[in-house]
Amino acid sequence: MQSTALTLSPLTPLLRPLNKNPNHRYGSLWNLSSLKPLGLLRSINGLSFQKASHLFSCSRFNARRINESFLISDGRCDGFKVRATPVPGNIGDTNDSSGLATSMQLGAMFAIWYILNIYFNIFNKQVLKVYTFPATVTAFHFGCGTLIILIMWASNLYHRPKLTRSQLAVIIPLAIVHTLGNLLTNVSIGRVNVSFTHTIKAMEPFFTVLFSVLFLGEWPTFWIVFSLIPVVGGVALASFTEASFNWIGFCSAMASNVTNQSRNVLSKKFMVKNEETLDNINLFSIITIISFMLLVPAAILLEGVKFSPSYLQSAANQGLNIRELCIRSLLAGFCLHSYQQVSYMILQMVSPVTHSVGNCVKRVVVIIASVIFFQTPVSPINSLGTTLALTGVFLYSKAKQLKPKPKVGESLKVAE
């Protein structure tokens, strides 16, 4: 569908301005008093005119909107010729198509995020079940991520950042707590069921609020505090009825909550200046490389060199041969880095609250998938506790959208 627009073009190379004041701010303009509405000319060549309003500039032949009439000097149109120009009428349709394409892209990215997360937890659990060295496994995951990042930068798939000393001073503490968070999560997954680890990790909002109060002085609203009640109660209920419960798995998962949320608070407290900030993807890439460099010597110090044939063979005797162990380790490392990369890409496209809700749904999907795949026995009370905890996380995400009403004094300051 197309509509018709009118364009004006000069017939003579030079037009004499009616206003000859050379000091006019906008140059020589038509005298508005001489402009009269053209009432006789209603159509040309069968084309209907829509009412428009223009002020003509002789120097640039521009048109400016002044009222609801089509104005021509002295009632004559011999200085201009008028012709109809077709204008595409599907601009709104284009915008709708663009919005639909963006929604479809986001939906696909969320699906990839969830699928990669599911496969990471499955492969990782299979490896840690027979190869009980979480520090070595975590270092291997960071090594896979580092290799992917170097290939990405070398092939110009993504621009390589230029680091400054101020950026490095901020990133190193973030990398330390990021390393600890991933290591403690793997310790928990190796000790207890995947579903139980992710149920405990639903406690993350509680530590977010706690550290925000302690280090940032940001007090939560009533609804945020209210949403934490089912989170804490649900995790406690699930823990009491968990068949695979042991204190090492429980405490390491809880400690990973502490490190992950302290990382978020540190990143907010020690924010680099705007002109020096990195984008999310490069920030995550730098953190991954630093984590790999930190964890390799730590893993050797804590567990020794565990890639010897004798240790691999002992893992093979427990159900996975050496080839399967290596392939699953590689796939777990690839899935870990890829789903975290996709997560940061999604965060660049949506609000943090939307991302938080998506993360809550992801946890539900991972728990259900792990229960089905590993045929984990789940009691009704355990299911109730998990459901309560995840419902609380969802309510927490929605409560963050509710902005507190400003106090009277704050309202007056804003008005001033």
Q: Is the pLDDT of residue 98 over 60?
A: yes
- The answer to whether residue 13 is domain-embedded is no
Does the pTM surpass 0.85? The reply is: no
Torsion 116-121-122-124 (CA) sign: positive
Between these two residues, 168 and 10, which has the higher pLDDT value? Answer: 168
Between these two residues, 367 and 353, which has the higher pLDDT value? Answer: 367
Q: Give the pLDDT score at 346.
A: 86
- The answer to whether residue 382 is domain-embedded is yes
Could you tell me the pLDDT band of residue 330, with boundaries at 50, 70 and 90? very high
Q: Give the pLDDT score at 164.
A: 85
Could you tell me the pLDDT band of residue 152, with boundaries at 50, 70 and 90? very high
- The answer to whether residue 48 is domain-embedded is no
Q: Is the pLDDT of residue 317 over 70?
A: yes
Name the most confidently modeled range: 27-41, 89-103, 129-143, 260-274: 129-143
Could you tell me the pLDDT band of residue 350, with boundaries at 50, 70 and 90? confident
Number of domains in the chain: 1
Phi–psi pair at 244, nearest 5 degrees: -95, 15
Q: Give the pLDDT score at 238.
A: 86
Beta carbons within 10 angstroms of residue 207's beta carbon? 18
SS3 393: helix
Task: Note the pLDDT tens digit of each residue in 162-194.
Answer: 888 888 888 898 899 999 999 999 999 999 999
Q: Is the pLDDT of residue 222 over 80?
A: yes
Reported as type and span, the H/E element at residue 3 is strand 2-10
Between these two residues, 76 and 208, which has the higher pLDDT value? Answer: 208
Cα(203)–Cα(11) distance, rounded to whole angstroms? 75
- The answer to whether residue 7 is domain-embedded is no
- The answer to whether residue 379 is domain-embedded is yes
**Interval 292-313 mean pLDDT:** 85
Q: Is the pLDDT of residue 221 over 50?
A: yes
Q: Is the pLDDT of residue 342 over 80?
A: yes
Q: Give the pLDDT score at 239.
A: 83
CA dihedral defined by 207, 209, 211, 215, rounded to 10 degrees?
A: 180
Range of lowest pLDDT (84-98, 248-262, 269-283): 84-98
- The answer to whether residue 254 is domain-embedded is yes
- The answer to whether residue 25 is domain-embedded is no
Could you tell me the pLDDT band of residue 404, with boundaries at 50, 70 and 90? low
Q: Give the pLDDT score at 93.
A: 54
Please state whether 57 falls in left (phi above 0), alpha (psi between -120 and 50) or beta: beta
Range of lowest pLDDT (11-15, 108-112, 163-167): 11-15
Could you tell me the pLDDT band of residue 353, with boundaries at 50, 70 and 90? low
- The answer to whether residue 88 is domain-embedded is no
**pLDDT over 70 for what percent of the chain?**
69
Q: Is the pLDDT of residue 109 over 60?
A: yes
Q: By residue range, what is the domain housing residue 305?
A: 122-400
